[in-house]
Amino acid sequence: MRVKICGITRAEDAAVAVEAGVWALGFVFHGPSPRNVDAVLAQRIASQLPSGVTAVAVFRDAHRDDVLRVLESTCITTVQLHGAHDVRIPPEVRVIRACTAVDGDADAAASDELVLLDNSQPGSGTRVDWQAAARLAARRPVVLAGGLTPDNVATAIEIVAPYAVDVSTGVERAPGVKDPRLIRAFIGAVRAAVSA
């Protein structure tokens, strides 16, 4: 089971996540978010990641110029798109399309796009409808996000059977500041759930 930790703002948090066995790290490019980073910081952290860890640029209501500027100034080759956007992504860039579990956007996503299921307010820590997520996960691979914590991720995996899980607020001690203990506990809970 793959784990993505989103809202990385510090190199030390990225290092803990990598050591714990994370699959991907998300860097938020959305000004109003307390987890917002600039391309310089994202590049500094992403360029130090081992080859098995994917750096993801996360956008909300993105404009093409903003997305392309980040892609051109960093080594990031995966984007995650939330909300409205007018972006045509270069073909060599992988797309993660954020949807809610109950809207029709997930079915409209292209077959080569990975669907991430979140609530309508990403980063709020609010849980998605796991039963609706399970119905979608039975049809295509999904990344389950929204309100996951070390305490509930095993249950979420059992119900939804996602391709991957994504956490941000559930492993924080303050907005944008991850807690090493919670990162390790979350990834440990995922591993235990998969091996049970």
Residues contacting residue 25 through CB under 8 Å, at least 6 positions apart: 4, 5, 6, 8, 14, 17, 18, 45, 46, 49, 53, 54, 55, 56
Rounded distance between C-alpha atoms, residue 109 and residue 140, angstroms: 11
- pLDDT higher than threshold 90 for residue 111: no
pLDDT at site 175: 92
- Of the ranges 4-8, 32-36, 107-111, which one carries the lowest mean pLDDT score? 107-111
List the domains of the chain with CATH numbers. Answer: 2-195 (3.20.20.70)
Catalytically active residues are 6, 118
Question: Of 171, 178, 142, nearest to 159 (Cα)?
Answer: 142
- pLDDT higher than threshold 90 for residue 121: no
3-class secondary structure for 36-92?
A: ECCHHHHHHHHCCCCCCCEEEEEEECCCHHHHHHHHHHCCCCEEEEECCCCCCCCCC
Share of the chain above pLDDT 70, in %: 93
Structure tokens at 92: 């060599």
- Report whether 169 contacts 9 (CB < 8 A): no
pLDDT band, residue 108 (cuts 50/70/90): low
| Amino acid, res. 157 | I
- Of the ranges 35-39, 97-101, 120-124, 133-137, which one carries the lowest mean pLDDT score? 120-124
Rounded distance between C-alpha atoms, residue 168 and residue 175, angstroms: 9
Structure tokens at 97: 């399309």
pLDDT per residue as tens digits for the range 96-105: 999 887 666 6
Structure tokens at 146: 């929204």
